[in-house]
């Protein structure tokens, strides 16, 4: 039940779970970036994509960001509203982590709770992967296409 609540908090960024190359578990590195624990391939959630783009194109507007990253206007606006980007100045007082109540400058979770959240998602992904290895395609359905889900070792 606890896990469900935490999932609701951050799933709107389309967190990548498995590596596109080798189906390994993606481990969160911070700032929307993930790395495959098996092959080292990098992946990004919506926040990571937008952040990367803004790093290279300071001052880009929402339409430009959306076109370049494929992230919807609404998601980008939500990120800005959550004060996720330091370069967008927001003098709206302090906010609190939704999980532990610590004071934070941006986003919805403090860095500690954010990492805990991701570690939990990674544990779930490993369990799912294990279930898929031992029980055929069990647990692997949805956007990745279970038919193509094969194991190479
Ligand atoms: Zn990989
Ligand atoms: Zn916290």
Q: How far is ligand 1, taken at its centre, from the CA of residue 102, in Å?
A: 35
Backbone phi and psi for residue 127, each to the nearest 5 degrees, phi listed first: -65, -40
Query: How many whole angstroms from 98 Cα to the centroid of ligand 2?
Result: 7
Rounded CA separation 127/133 (Å) = 10
- Phi first, then psi, for residue 121 (nearest 5°) are -60, -40
Ligand nearest to the CA of 102: 2
Q: What is the pLDDT of residues 7-18, one digit of tens each?
A: 555 566 899 999
> Per-residue pLDDT averaged across 124-131, rounded?
94
Q: Is the pLDDT of residue 33 over 50?
A: yes
Which residues have C-beta within 8 Å of that of residue 103, sequence separation ≥ 6?
A: 94, 95, 96, 97
Q: What is the DSSP letter of 1?
A: -
Contact 2, 12 (CB under 8 A): no
Question: Lowest mean pLDDT: which of 21-25, 37-41, 111-115, 136-140?
Answer: 136-140
- Can you tell me whether residue 135 is helix, strand or coil? coil
Report the predicted TM-score, pTM, of the whole model to 2 decimal places: 0.70
* Residue 114 CA, ligand 1 centroid: distance in Å: 23
């Amino acid at each position: 039940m606890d896990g469900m609540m935490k999932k609701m908090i951050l799933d709107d960024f389309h967190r990548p779970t498995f590596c596109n190359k080798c189906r390994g578990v993606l481990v969160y590195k911070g700032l929307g970036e993930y790395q495959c624990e098996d092959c080292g391939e990098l992946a990004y959630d919506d926040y990571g994509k937008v952040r990367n783009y803004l790093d290279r194109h300071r001052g880009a507007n929402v339409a430009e960001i959306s076109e370049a990253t494929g992230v919807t206007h609404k998601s980008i606006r939500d990120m800005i509203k959550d004060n996720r980007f330091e370069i967008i100045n927001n003098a709206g007082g302090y906010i609190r982590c939704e999980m532990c109540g610590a004071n934070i400058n941006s986003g919805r979770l403090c860095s500690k709770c954010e990492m805990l959240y991701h570690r939990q998602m990674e544990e779930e992904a490993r369990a799912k992967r294990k279930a898929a290895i031992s029980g055929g395609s069990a647990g692997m359905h949805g956007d990745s296409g279970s038919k193509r889900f094969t194991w190479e070792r």
